Amino acid sequence: MAERKFRVWRGNAEGGEFVDYQVEIEPGMVVLDAVHRIQTHQANDLAVRWNCKAGKCGSCSCEVNGKPKLSCMTRVNDYAPDETITIQPLRTFPILKDLVTDVTWNYEQKAKIKPLQPRPREADGTHRMQQEDVDRVQEFRKCIECFLCQDVCHVLRNQDRKDAFVGPRLMIHIAQLEMNPLDTADRIPELKKEYGSGLCNITRCCTDVCPEHINITDNAIIPLKERVVDRYYDPVMMIWRALTGK
């Protein structure tokens, strides 16, 4: 069997270093397989979070050769045979140990967002929705909360504005609620201020890294930004609302 070199970051919040490992490679292996092989044969104390190994739980997020990826969906043979594969923890969140980061901040942001407030049920006790009304929302439900989009978003990653922007994952969540035909809550004022839609400068990295291929930028963030424009920046709409009360 062929061998290839892996560089894995080892350490904790205080510090650490890259450690090189030679790993035997089999056809069809993914990066997470290599990490498990290192853990089994060379470094029993290597910390890695994983669960389904099928790209559906979002646990094994890390950075492979500088790009945010799910390690279980990244094939080793995507890289040239002589290329060293570097594996790091996510940059945007505090490191617990080795490849494991603390993503609690994301759940704290989610808790800040107004939940669904459905309109009253119809006379027969049901809620009815047409497919054309839920097409958009269904795309957002594919999110597996791997937080790769949060990791790559430069507002959170480099500009350190976690205080002002909830990030693309939560923008999807807000879009999913705002566009829900049953929902009656109004999140536009919070979207502008607390959730920080204006911080996003639409460089689309969140969409580029999404393993579920959710078009985060075009289908969630930009439509939400346009709703903020309707409410706060479009003078004609503002006059129309003042005159009609709508």
Q: Do the beta carbons of residue 68 and residue 96 sit within 8 Å?
A: no
CB closer to other proteins out of 7 and 53: 7
CA distance linking residue 99 with residue 87, whole number of Å? 8
- What residue ranges bind other proteins (CB under 8 A)? 9, 11, 13-18, 63, 65-68, 83, 86, 88-91, 95, 129-130, 132-133, 152, 154-155, 157-159, 161, 165, 178-181, 183, 196, 198-205, 208-209, 217-218, 222-223, 225-230, 232-234
| Least distance in angstroms from the C-beta of 46 to other proteins | 14
| Least distance in angstroms from the C-beta of 8 to other proteins | 9
CB closer to other proteins out of 196 and 211: 196
Q: Do the beta carbons of residue 147 and residue 106 sit within 8 Å?
A: yes
| Least distance in angstroms from the C-beta of 225 to other proteins | 8
CB closer to other proteins out of 11 and 55: 11
| Least distance in angstroms from the C-beta of 75 to other proteins | 15
User: In the beta sheet, which residues pair with residue 18?
Assistant: 9
The H-or-E segment that residue 238 falls in is helix 235-244
CB closer to other proteins out of 22 and 84: 84
Mark out the alpha helices in 43-199 (DSSP H runs).
104-112, 131-140, 148-152, 154-157, 168-178, 188-192
Give Cα 50 distance to the centre of its chain.
16
CB closer to other proteins out of 39 and 86: 86
CA distance linking residue 120 with residue 56, whole number of Å? 34
| Least distance in angstroms from the C-beta of 73 to other proteins | 17
